[in-house]
Amino acid sequence: MTDRVLDLAELRFAWKGGPVLLDIPALSLDRGERLFLRGPSGSGKSTLLGLVCGVLPPQAGRITVLGRDLATLSGAGRDALRAAEMGVVFQMFNLLPYLSVLANVTLPCRFSAERRRRAVAAGGSPEAEARRLLQRLGLHDPRLAEAPVRALSVGQQQRVAMARALIGDPALIVADEPTSALDSDARDAFLDLLLGEVGRSGASLLFVSHDLGLAGHFDRSADIRALNRAAAPATGLPAGMPVAGETP
Amino acid sequence: MTLLPLALRSLWNRRATALLTLLSVGLSVALLVGVESLRQGARASFERTITGTDLIVGARSGQLNLLLYAVFRVGDATNNITWPSYQAVAGRPDVAWTVPLSLGDSHRGFRVLGTTTDYFTHYRYGDGKSLTLAEGKPFADLFDAVIGAEVARTLGYTVGQEIVLSHGIGSVSFAEHSDRPFRVSGILAPTGTPVDRTVHVSLPAIEAIHVGWETGTRLSTSTSPSVDDLRHMELQPKQITAFLVGLKTRAAALRVQRAVNTYAEEPLLAIIPGVALSQLWSVLGVAEQALTAVAVFVVGVGLLGILISMLTSLNERRREMAVLRAIGARPWHVFALLVSESTLLALVGSTLGVTALHLGLLAGGSALEALAGLALLTPGPGLFDLAVIGGVTLAAALIGAVPAWRAYRVAVADGLSVQV
C-alpha cells in the first residue's frame, strides 16, 4: 500500500445539480511511476485534478493519496497534505508576480514545515535548495534568482514553476498542460528536465495533456475519456465548469 | 506568520494604487486628528478667555448675557450699576482687587472699554498670561487709548494715531465724539481673546466724552466744555457697566457671589467666569460636534477607498489565489491575506496621517497661536491619536473582510483552475 502514491476506486463526481461528470472505476499511480493522462479540454480533467489535489471535496468512491483516504480528511487536512506531498505545475501564470524568482520557488516551504525540513536537509536552507534546483533546470544566471518574475520568458517561468513543484521532494508531481504554452524546442527541453528531476527525486508524476505526441516519454499512458464511464456533458461548456460557481 | 510578508510584497507590487489609498487614509485621519486638536485648542482657549478673575459683577440679567457683554463685547447691558454699589462690593474685606468696566461706545465697529490701568495687570487669559504691550505705553493722558492687536491690524493703526470714538455700538455711527479725539498710546500683543478687538480708554475719558451728552445726544458745541476744561474737571463716574473681582481666597467666591446677588440696594448679578464660560461653550458645542462628525465621515470615505481598491483588484488576482491554493494555502489563508492587506494599509496610512499632522502642528503651531491665539493643548501624539489609529485599523480589518470573503469563496470555487 505504501508504494501506491495515488489510488482511485469507483470515483464519482457531479457538480451541484449537474449530471455525473466523472465516474472512474480505477486509476492508480505507483511510487516513481510516470503517467501520461490524455485529456482534451471538456473531458473533466480539471475536476479530476481538483479531486486528486484535495481542492475539491470527494463525493463518492475512494481517493487515496500516500495511503490516506481524502474523504476522511478535513478540508484543512487535504490542504496540508497537498502542501507537503504535492507539487503542481499549471499551463501558465504559475508564479506570483510580486515575488522574486527565488521567493516563488521557496513558497511551498512557507506553507509546509515538512517541505521546508526536507529542503533544508537537501540543500542547507530553502534558498540554497532553490538555487540548486534552478541551476539544475538550466537557469544558471545567479542574478535570475533575484529577478522579478515578469523579466522571464514563458519557458523560463515554466522551469521556475517546476523548481517550485520539486522543492522539498513531494511524493507526487501534478502537471496540468505544462508545455502547451511552449514552442516545440522548449517543450522537449522542459519535458526532459521534468522527467529527469522526477526520476532523480523518486516522485510520481501525473502529467495531463491533450498532446498525444508526448505520451512516448512516459512509463504509462491513459486516456481520461476511456477511464471515465460518465457520458460527456450535453452542454457546450467545458467539463469542470461549476454551474453555480460554487462547490457543493 | 507567513502571510504578512506576502501581503507586503503584494501591496508593493500594486504600489501606485496602494500609495493613493495610503494617501486618502492618511489625509482623512490627519483631518480628523487635526479637527480634534483644533477643537480641544479652541475649547481650551475659549474657556480660558478670562482667568484669574474670581467673579464678574453686573446689573442683574442672565449669566450668559453678563458674560457676553462683559467679556466678549457682544450685546448690551440692560442696565448699568451705580458707583456706590461698585464701591460697596470693592470695599468688602475678602475682595483683593476690582477693575471697573464701562461699555457703550465704539470705534469703527470695535467696542470701546473704559477701565483703569489695573485692567492690564489683573486681566489674565490662557495659563494666567497677562496682557503685554507690543508697542507704546498704557494710557496716561485723559485722551489716550490702548488698542487690541486686531484693531491695530484691521485698521492699520500705529502708536500716535488719532481716533474718534462713536456714541453707541454700530459700525457706522452718526453720533461721533469728533470734538474729543483720542490718541493711540499703546498696542497690545495678540491674545486670541476679545481683548484683541477692544479699544481701551480710561474711565474718566468715558465720562469726559459724554459731558454735554446727558440727554443722549450732543448739545450744541457752544455749551459743551473744551478739551482743556475737561482735563481739569472732576470726572468721577456715576455708573459703570460691570466690574471684575479678584478675591483674597478663591474659597470665598461662593460667599461673595451670594452676597452680591442678594445686595439689597440694587439688583446685581455675580458670575464665576469659568462656570459661565463652560456653559456658553456647551451652547456652541453643537457646531463643534458637527465638525467632528464631518471629519469622521471623511475617515469613512478614506476607508471606503481601501474597500474599492481591493474589490477592483480582486478579479485580476484570482490567478494568484489559485496559485496559492495549489501550493497548499487554505481558503482562510486567502482570507487572511486580504484582511492583512486592508489592515496594513489602514495602519500605515493612519500612522502617516497622525505623524504628518503632528509634525505640521510642531512646525506651524506657534504661528497658529500668534495668529489666532489658539494654543494647542497637546503638541505631541496622545491617547486620542492612538485610539484613532487603533479604531481606523480595526475598521479596515472589518472592511477588508468583505473582499476577503469574496476571495475566499472564489478560492473555494475556483480551486486550481480559474474560471474567468
pLDDT digits (tens, 9 = 90+) for A185-239: 888 888 888 898 888 888 999 999 888 888 888 888 888 888 887 755 444 444 4
Tell whether B243 is covered by a domain: yes
Cα B190 to Cα B161, B220, B367: the distances in Å are: 19, 40, 12
Tell whether A232 is covered by a domain: no
Residue with cell 446689573: B59
What are A107-147's pLDDT values in tens digits?
898 888 889 999 899 888 988 989 988 888 888 888 888 88
Q: Which residues of B touch A108 (CB under 8 A)?
A: 327-328
- pLDDT at position A239 is 46
The pTM score is: 0.71
What are B270-303's pLDDT values in tens digits?
999 988 988 888 887 788 888 889 989 999 999 9
For residues B18 and B133, membership in a common domain is answered with no
For residues B191 and B267, membership in a common domain is answered with yes
For residues B253 and B299, membership in a common domain is answered with no
CA closest to A108 among chain B residues: B327
- CA atoms within 13 A of residue B75's CA, in its CB half-sphere: 15
A75 touches chain B (CB under 8 A): yes
Contact B50, B119 (CB under 8 A): no
What are B391-413's pLDDT values in tens digits?
999 999 999 999 998 888 877 77
CB B341: neighbour CB atoms within 10 A?
28
For residues B267 and B180, membership in a common domain is answered with yes
For residues B218 and B142, membership in a common domain is answered with yes
Cα B5 to Cα A99, A107, B13, B325, B341: the distances in Å are: 10, 11, 12, 17, 10
Tell whether B29 is covered by a domain: yes
Tell whether A47 is covered by a domain: yes
Tell me the mean pLDDT in the region B158-182. Answer: 77
The answer on pLDDT for A72 being more than 80 is yes
Where a domain ends, among B234, B250, B271? Answer: B271
Domain ranges, residue B22 = 3-46+284-414
Q: Pick from B13, B319, B330: which is nearest to A79 by CB?
A: B330
CA closest to A89 among chain B residues: B326
For residues B89 and B131, membership in a common domain is answered with yes
Number of domains in chain B: 2
CA closest to A100 among chain B residues: B9
For residues B201 and B335, membership in a common domain is answered with no
Tell whether A238 is covered by a domain: no
For residues B9 and B148, membership in a common domain is answered with no
Tell me the CATH number at A217: 3.40.50.300
The answer on pLDDT for B217 being more than 80 is no
Specify burial of residue A49 (Cβ count, 10 A radius: 0-12, 13-18, 19+). buried
Pairwise CB contact (< 8 Å): A246 & B412? yes
What are A160-181's pLDDT values in tens digits?
999 999 998 899 999 888 888 8
Pairwise CB contact (< 8 Å): A108 & B328? yes
Q: Which amino acid is at B403?
A: P
- pLDDT at position B261 is 93
As for the ipTM of the complex, it is 0.83
Tell whether B234 is covered by a domain: yes
CA distance A207 to chain B (A): 15
For residues B41 and B98, membership in a common domain is answered with no
Tell whether B420 is covered by a domain: no
Tell whether B277 is covered by a domain: no
Pairwise CB contact (< 8 Å): B2 & A90? no
- pLDDT at position B55 is 94
Tell whether A233 is covered by a domain: no
Instruction: Give the H/E segment covering residue B343.
Output: helix B331-372
Confidence of residue A244 (pLDDT cuts 50, 70, 90): very low
The Cα B70–Cα B58 span in angstroms is 8
Which has the minimum average pLDDT: A45-54, B96-105, B252-261? A45-54
Pairwise CB contact (< 8 Å): B10 & A98? yes
Q: Which three cell numbers stand for residue B6?
A: 506576502
Q: Which three cell numbers stand for residue B320?
A: 494568484
The answer on pLDDT for B132 being more than 70 is yes
Cα B372 to Cα B187, B196, B365, B366, B376: the distances in Å are: 17, 10, 10, 10, 11
A208 touches chain B (CB under 8 A): no
Tell me the mean pLDDT in the region A65-79. Answer: 87
- pLDDT at position A164 is 92
Q: Which of B323, B337, B408 to mutate to test the interface with A (most CBs of A within 10 A)?
A: B323
Number of domains in chain A: 1
For residues B126 and B257, membership in a common domain is answered with yes
Domain ranges, residue A101 = 4-227
